[in-house]
Amino acid sequence: QVQLVQSGAEVKKPGASVKVSCKASGYTFTSYYMHWVRQAPGQGLEWMGIINPYGGGSTSYAEKFQGRVTMTRDTSTSTVYMELSSLRSEDTAVYYCARGTRDGYNYRTDYWGQGTLVTVSS
Amino acid sequence: DIQMTQSPSSLSASVGDRVTITCRASQGISNYLAWFQQKPGKAPKSLIYAASSLQSGVPSEFSGSGSGTDFTLTISSLQPEDFATYYCQQYNSYPITFGQGTRLEIK
């Protein structure tokens, strides 16, 4: 069965960086994209970007996060990573990875990780 | 960016009721529309994709319809486990965007 297992909660100081991992199992890792979505406390869902684990690991990021976010993958361990730098208090949120399944020319989210709480506090 | 507007923002209903949630896109998105259910402290769960296709394992009480800019999610007969927050999502173009959510509460 498809499983996405994310790394544990993090507490970071403003200005620091955080790197969250998402380990995939139960399917062919390089055949599906991976999205990252975050949710601030009590708020809605916000898409951050997407990575193609196949080949060179191409990415597409939401403009809001351009320059601060980096998504990478390790095909040997079927793991994708999301690193967010220059953290500020507004980045306190639960970060989710979600598998991207092709639908025509687009990629919908189907299976989701359990989420990783990142707290930014001085 | 494509704005997704859900209505209502919250809804009170009883077990056995039929409920409908609507989602409007600020521009046409064909049928690249998904619906998710989220319970407190849990990850979103996929219900519907391509506007009307039921995700594997989702009960048939859930259905979706629409195309272009206007979409609906219908729950034909509410079960106790259906009380949650529901989100629509467009994946027609980047950035992918979500509706603000509809909180479905027990009356």
Q: How many CA atoms lie within 13 A of A70 on its CB side?
A: 8
Question: Based on the number of CB atoms within 10 Å of its own CB, is A102 exposed (0-12), middle (13-18) or buried (19 or more)?
Answer: exposed
Structure tokens at B82: 């259906």
Residue that has been written with the tokens 């996060």 in this structure:
A65
What is the reported pLDDT for A85? 98
What is the reported pLDDT for A81? 98
Angle, CA B52 vertex, CA B46 and CA B55 arms, to 5°: 30
| Mean pLDDT confidence for B3-31 | 97
Q: Which residue of B55, B94, B101 is in closest CB contact with A110?
A: B55
State yes or no: pLDDT of A18 exceeds 90: yes
Q: Are A20 and A69 in contact (CB under 8 A)?
A: no
What is the reported pLDDT for B99? 98
**Are B34 and A106 within 8 A, CB to CB?**
no
Q: Which residue of B46, B98, B100 is in closest CB contact with A110?
A: B46
Which of B72, B4, B48, B2 lies closest to A110 in space, CA to CA? B48
What is the reported pLDDT for B88? 98
Residues of A in contact with B43 (CB under 8 A): 96, 112-115
What is the reported pLDDT for B5? 98
* Alpha-carbon gap: A48 to the closest alpha carbon of chain B (Å): 8
State yes or no: pLDDT of B107 exceeds 90: no
Of the pLDDT bands very low, low, confident and very high (cuts 50, 70, 90), residue A27 is: very high
What is the reported pLDDT for B10? 97
pLDDT in tens, A59-117: 999 999 999 999 999 999 999 999 999 999 999 999 999 999 999 989 999 999 999 99
State yes or no: pLDDT of B51 exceeds 90: yes
Residues of B in contact with A112 (CB under 8 A): 43-46
For chain A, percent of residues with pLDDT exceeding 90: 97
A84: amino acid identity, one letter: L
Structure tokens at A53: 């684990």
Question: Could you please report the per-residue DSSP string of chain A?
Answer: --EEEEPPPEEE-TT--EEEEEEEESS-GGGSEEEEEEE-TT--EEEEEEE--STTT-EEE-GGGTTTEEEEEETTTTEEEEEE-S--GGG-EEEEEEEEEEETTEEEEEEE---EEEEE--
State yes or no: pLDDT of A31 exceeds 90: yes
Distance (Å, rounded) from C-alpha A101 to C-alpha A87?
Answer: 30
| Mean pLDDT confidence for A22-37 | 97
Question: Could you please report the per-residue DSSP string of B32-65?
Answer: -EEEEEE-TTS--EEEEETTTEEPTT--TTEEEE
From residue A112, how far is each of A23, A84, B70, B79 by CA, in Å? 11, 19, 26, 23
